[in-house]
Amino acid sequence: EVQLVESGGALVKPGGSLRLSCAASGFSFSTYAMNWVRQAPGKGLEWVSSISRSGTFIYYPDSLKGRFTISRDNAKNSLYLQMNSLGADDTAVYFCARVLSGYGDYGPLDSWGQGTLVTVSS
C-alpha cells in the first residue's frame, strides 16, 4: 500500500524556519517525481514545489523561489521541504504528493499524504 506520511509541522514565529519531511513507503520512491502542495485554513490548494526522480530538476512558483527548498533522499525514501523567512501567509497544511507513473516531474498527483500543519504566528 502506498503511504506518504508528512511530519515537521509546528508553530513558528514570523521570520523563522522549518523543515518538513515526507516518509514514503509501499512503492519504489526513487522512480517517482514528487510534489509539495499547501492549503491555507479554509482556502484552496496551492502548488509549492516539484522535484524530479533523481532530484536533478526542481521547480517552484516565483512567489516562493529563494525561500523554500525541496530535496529528496532516495536512499531514505524521503522528501523534504526547507522553509525560511516564514510569514503569516505561509500558514497552511502542507501535503506531499506523488506524480502518477509515466508522467514527467509535475503530472497528475495520484497519492497524497495526510498533511502537516504549519502555523506562523508570534
Least separation in angstroms between residue 72's CB and another protein is 18
d(CA 96, CA 34): 7
In the chain, helix, strand, coil percent, each to 5?
5, 50, 45
Q: 42 to 71, contacts with another protein by CB under 8 A?
A: 44-47, 50, 59-62
* Residue of 23, 91, 112, 117 interacting with another protein (CB under 8 A): 112
d(CA 21, CA 81): 7
* Residue of 10, 88, 108, 121 interacting with another protein (CB under 8 A): 108
Total of residues contacting another protein (CB under 8 A): 23
Q: 3 to 22, contacts with another protein by CB under 8 A?
A: none
* Residue of 5, 52, 106, 119 interacting with another protein (CB under 8 A): 106
Least separation in angstroms between residue 13's CB and another protein is 27
Nearer CB in complex with another protein: 61/87: 61
Listed in sequence order, the residues at least 6 apart from 68 whose beta carbon sits closer than 8 Å to its beta carbon are: 48, 49, 60, 81, 82, 83, 84
The total of other beta-carbon atoms located within 10 Å of residue 32's CB is: 21
| Cα torsion angle, 60, 63, 69, 72, sign | negative
Q: Which residues bind another protein (CB under 8 A)?
A: 35, 37, 44-47, 50, 59-62, 95, 97, 100, 106-110, 112-115
